[in-house]
Amino acid sequence: MYKYLHNINTPEDIKKLDIDKLNILSNEIRKFLVKSVSNTGGHLAPNLGVVELTLALHYVFDSPKDKLIWDVGHQSYVHKIITGRREKFDTLRQFEGISGFPKKSESIHDIFDTGHSSTSISVGLGLAVARDIKNEKSHIISIIGDGALTGGMAFEALNHLGHTNTNMIVVLNDNEMSISKNVGSISNYLCNIRTNAAYKKVKDEIENIANHIPKIGKTFYETAGRFKNSLKYLLMPGALFEEMGLKYFGPIDGHDIEELINTFKNIKKVQGPVLVHVITKKGKGYKFAEECPDKYHGVGPFRIDKGVSESFIDTYSKIAGNKLLELAKLDDRVVAITAAMPSGTGLNKFQQVYPERFFDVGIAESHAVTFAAGLAANGLRPYFAVYSTFLQRGYDQIIHDACIQNLPVTFLIDRAGIVGDDGETHHGIFDLSYLSSMPNLKIMSPKDKHELEKMIQHSIKINTPVAIRYPRGEAISINDSADDKDIDKWEILNEGKDIAIIATGSMVKTSLDAKDILCNNGLNITVVNARCIKPLDEKLLQTIAKSHNTIITLEDNVLIGGFGSYVNSYLIKFKFKGDIVNMGWPDKFIEHGKVDILYDKYALSAQKIASRILDEIN
């Protein structure tokens, strides 16, 4: 099926191929990617867009001596294929299989573990400075997308890099996308560069004339260079990267492997920090992905001939987005904020109906939080929908700008808990621990879709910061019993004796399943839905403590500093004499794998929880 791909096991193997063969290899890799990801799921469109770029980098540079750092890392599949992991792609993002992101533990060619955006330039600069201090010789190359360039951390690093004299290469992979379409002034700036043919034509003509004047060519080129530097302010607005101290090269066709190779060969000789601007097409080579790259950014298994089927499942993201839209129709103070993920967080419809009240700030979570605080300070009711793993990036702003000033900002925390295949960089298992310590912040977590709707409805009445955390995936229905006014009180779902399970959020369903198993073993278990995590429902907790000998807390969060710790502190104050058992995630970073497999491995499945309770009482 493949003419060359089966013989590619190390970067050295591609150096043996000529340009024609590399182009054939590029097509083979795309076919391999589509076939593999259609079986396992994964990040398809980003990787289809960087095939030639990845081959050219490995062709010119010598990994791992020369170090490639992939920003975000979800576009590293081609890098993995040509560094000896092709035959493991049937295990991509599977439990105990290869990761969908770079991992140092997997390969010497993976220099740094990445998963979040905008970190690669900082990492690269650190590696480059360390290299210089140690008097080593190597090239450092950070590959960052134009979407990641909207993150403030990337500009902090560029600002630092531009004022050093260290040799480092930044490759800007410009495909006009992060996950959804990019927004903001940086995106507009790059668009100006991409479309400004006049500047490139004049620049090329200057170089061409200089090269054909034997004796005065150098002097002419220097003079013309000064003219070019003046010209760029007219034809290329801002000249942003060169003003920051980087030598700018581009834009370059990211699918012309010969041009890429020649460019990188020349840039190897350039002293100081360099930025190479490469234009790529996200999803290239697979019709469905080219036509709808955001839909094929991250996918589950699909049929190659038909593409990804539209999902009609009601996810928690959809429920949250639809309820927020409903709330906005009733209250014109309601505004929605996303950090480059309108689709992932369910805000697409809100964006369409109320574009003037919808704000996509780019990959800039810390800015999003403070922007929301400013909106709230002037009388609006902002809702920031964000994945739990990315909210971590706004930690200081939540405290300093929202909580200290007690502003009514609502955080809709999507993907709270274990998320599965994306693994340790994306699990949302820390938010309860750091949010619970913040004064003025109310934290809620629904057991099902009905409670999520009621919590969002109720949040408009709360004049303090609010966090509502909910899991990834299909929204379930347990019951629809709670009134809006009772939503911040705990709910007894099953009244038993001796042993009580107090569970939060998605773990409520698991506790009910465990209760059924224990019932078959002759035990009558109390199950409590702790839908309001902070403040605790102290009245009901006292009642439970007085009537039960054993209290078990259950959460989809790390145990240290989590819900169980919060309950423990109250029970100690209450002088509870019985046993307390906290169940949640241990003090470690949890690997990737299907959610059910991870729950079972870490004894958080209903069966394992029931077994632990039986062991406890025996």
Neighbours of 211 (CB within 10 A): 11
Cis peptide leading into residue 251 (ω within 30°): yes
Active-site pick, 28, 52, 365, 491: 365
- Write out the two tokens for 432: 């309860």
What is the distance between the alpha carbons of residues 111 and 124, in angstroms, rounded to a whole number? Answer: 10
- Is 242 among the residues known to form the active site? no
The residues that bridge with 414 in the sheet, in sequence order, are 387
Residues at the annotated binding site for Mg(2+)? 146, 175
438: nearest Cα among 401, 391, 398, 388 = 398
Q: Which helix (H) or strand (E) holds 78?
A: helix 77-80
Active-site pick, 86, 232, 282, 469: 282
**Strands 442-444 and 532-534, sheet pairing:** antiparallel
The residues that bridge with 407 in the sheet, in sequence order, are none
Residues at the annotated binding site for thiamine diphosphate? 74, 115-117, 147-148, 175, 286, 365
Active-site pick, 86, 323, 393, 515: 393
Q: Phi-psi bin for 595: left (phi > 0), alpha (psi -120 to 50), beta?
A: alpha
- Write out the two tokens for 566: 């919060």
CB 340 within 8 A of CB 179: yes
What is the distance between the alpha carbons of residues 53 and 110, in angstroms, rounded to a whole number? Answer: 17
- Is 393 among the residues known to form the active site? yes
Sheet with 381-387, side-by-side order of all strands: 358-360, 334-338, 381-387, 410-414, 466-469, 442-444, 532-534
The residues that bridge with 249 in the sheet, in sequence order, are 276
- Identify the DSSP state of 559: S
- Write out the two tokens for 120: 């690669």
- Is 96 among the residues known to form the active site? no
333 burial type by CB count under 10 A (0-12 exposed, 13-18 middle, 19+ buried): middle
CB 452 within 8 A of CB 294: no
Residues at the annotated binding site? 74, 115-117, 146-148, 175, 286, 365
- Write out the two tokens for 496: 């038993």
- Write out the two tokens for 98: 């290869």
- Residues catalogued as catalytic: 282, 365, 393
